[in-house]
Chains A and B, each alone.
Chain A
Amino acid sequence: MSPRKIRLSTTPTQEALDDLQLGDIVYLDGLMYTAREGVYKRALEEKANIPMELPRDSAANFHCSPAARINADGSFEMGAVTATASFRFSKWLPEWMEKSGAKLIIGKGGMSSKDYKSYFVPNGAIYLSTVGYGTGALLGRGVENVEAVHWNEELGLAQAMWVIRCKEMGPFIVASDKHGDCLFERENAKISQNFDKIYEGTRPATLKRYGETDDRSDEVI
């Protein structure tokens, strides 16, 4: 069975968001902005003014830094676009969502169902994952225009806030739904059933490591 394909606005209606099911394939139209460590730190910890009107202009936060350059004349060249792993940003996201009104969080690998249930669902937000994590060229084709880059001086090209106009940009996979269920956790649960069999006849390491336990009274042998 091939997955369902859906076109979605980056300022989506709640109805369109509620309709999304785990594993649906989504293509996006409209403005999206990139935000990762640098942007969250600057906006939330250093209380800098967010240089966009959110969520009016865009409700789509992409955990991404593109392979791009700023030309001497101030224009932009954006080649490939790929997401970075989102789990590292969960400490900032609840506050960011409140402040930005983001409805679509787009990134790599999703978050936990605990994240989804505690602040995605109450905000009516959905998580979209990029596909394979290497489809940078396909996503790059979905960039109709690079509208702006904010905080490049302060954060550098890789951490700056890029504003991208996208047209049928995709594919993305719906990785959380309106109930806060998690696609990756669903898949993990299925795969885990094979683990006993696959591990049969292997040996646990003789030497343990600190860092794998938080109990400092443990010995490593």
Chain B
Amino acid sequence: MIPIDIIQKTAETLMDKAAIEIPQDYLDGLQAAADVEDGDLSSFVLQAMLENYEAAKEDRRAMCGDTGTPRWYVKMGNDTRIEGGPIALEAALRRATANATNGVPLRPNRVHPLWRTDHNNNVGIGAPEIEYGYEPGGEWIDLITVHKGGLFGTDYRMLFPSDGIEGIRRFYLDSLIAFGKRGLACQPAIIGIGLGGCKDTCMVLGKRAACLRTVGSENSDPKIAQLEREFKELGNSIGMGAMGFVGKSMVVDCNIEVGYCHTGGMQMSVHAFCLSSRRAVARVFPDGRVEYRTDPDWFTDYQRRETVEWDAPAMEAAE
């Protein structure tokens, strides 16, 4: 049984880490982009960003004033038990979100869509989002917080099989250029692409591809991994860099996730996880042990399974 107070305390620490500490994989990716960038203004911007990450860590202040819309991804093993059950878990995550908004401080971004009511704590109807995943075996819980920016860089298009890769490429470029101008997408970004599913799952897949996979990771399907590399290069050859200035750093990495879709369709979503790619992860064990990391490791073979049954014994052997 995992103690609920440890979950809440860990969640508060994660909120702080996500807002302040740029994940190492993103930092390495941005440094690599800065090394090859030769546009005057773009280079200046990337250097300023690198200094900004340092300043944030030194001062323990949020790296960006727009601290996004905090959300939670929660993953559990099949044998995980939480003190107080799922209702207590959700209450702990809402409390941690509110406390950290005041504590770090974060910007209280969340308001009612019509009445603009602001509780000044990033908690409200449906906020923060809490999404769940499960893995065979294990008694741990993974808490993942992502504070993605909320206004620009994301789009959806219903494509059809006849549109082919050429149609996918077109929408990818359209999205990058539309939101890249003036740097609205706060690029260079981790670009997540969702392909297939239904409209809602397509958006979910793309967002998770952007937020829950690290820079340098690859899809387990080698042909999709090839497409990811190709799209990263394509995005960086538009001629556009940071803030929409002339340059070559648009995409720190491109991650693609797929889901089975309607036979007549090929849904596509594009998401940009910005210069402040805020994510933090911790695994909490029943004995109260907490391990912090920055890789959500969300897309396991189990999450990408395509068969009716899951071969449990093989999974245990692999562990």
Residues of A within 8 A of B (CB): 1-3, 23, 25, 38, 64-69, 77, 79-85, 108-110, 129, 131-141, 156-159, 171, 173, 184, 187-188, 190-191, 193-195, 198-199, 201-207
Contacts and interface: CB of A to CB of B under 8 A. Distances in A.
Given A134-B49, A171-B48, A79 B105 contact: yes
B66 interface: yes
B44 interface: yes
28 contacts: A23-B40, A25-B44, A67-B65, A68-B105, A79-B104, A82-B65, A82-B66, A85-B152, A131-B45, A132-B243, A133-B183, A133-B274, A134-B276, A136-B61, A136-B62, A136-B64, A137-B53, A137-B62, A140-B62, A141-B55, A156-B120, A184-B182, A184-B244, A187-B244, A188-B182, A194-B239, A198-B239, A205-B157
Interface string B33-55: 00000001100111011011101
Nearest to A3: B44
B118 A156 contact: yes
Nearest 4 pairs of A and B residues by beta carbon: A82-B65, A156-B118, A202-B170, A137-B56
Given A80-B65, A158-B118, 7 more contacts: A67-B61, A85-B152, A131-B48, A134-B64, A156-B117, A205-B163, A206-B160
Given A2-B40, A199-B170, A207 B160 contact: yes
Contacts of B246: 187, 190-191
B178 to A, nearest CB: 11
Given A138-B52, A203-B163, A82 B243 contact: no
B270 to A, nearest CB: 13
Interface residues of B, number: 67
Interface in B89-122: 102, 104-109, 111, 116-118, 120
A23 B109 CA distance: 31
Contact of A133 (B56, B109, B162, B186): B186
Interface of B: 19, 40-41, 44-46, 48-49, 51-53, 55-56, 59, 61-67, 102, 104-109, 111, 116-118, 120, 151-152, 157-160, 162-164, 166-167, 169-171, 173, 177, 181-184, 186, 234, 237-240, 242-246, 274-276
A60 to B, nearest CB: 16
Given A65-B107, A132-B52, A140 B44 contact: no
B21 to A, nearest CB: 11
Contacts of B184: 85, 108-109
A140 B59 contact: yes
B242 to A, nearest CB: 6
A132 B239 CA distance: 17
Contact of B108 (A129, A157, A194, A202): A157
Q: Chain B CB within 10 Å — which of A83, A134, A135, A138 has the most?
A: A134
B67 A80 contact: yes
Contacts of B40: 1-3, 23
A131 B237 CA distance: 22
Contacts of B44: 2-3, 25, 131, 171
A181 to B, nearest CB: 15
Contact of A23 (B41, B61, B276): B41
A158 B276 contact: no
B150 to A, nearest CB: 11
A206 B65 contact: no
Nearest to B61: A79
A108 B151 CA distance: 12
Contacts of A1: 40
Contact of B167 (A2, A109, A202): A202
A137 B40 CA distance: 23
Nearest to A203: B166
Given A136-B64, A141-B55, A158-B118, A188 B107 contact: no
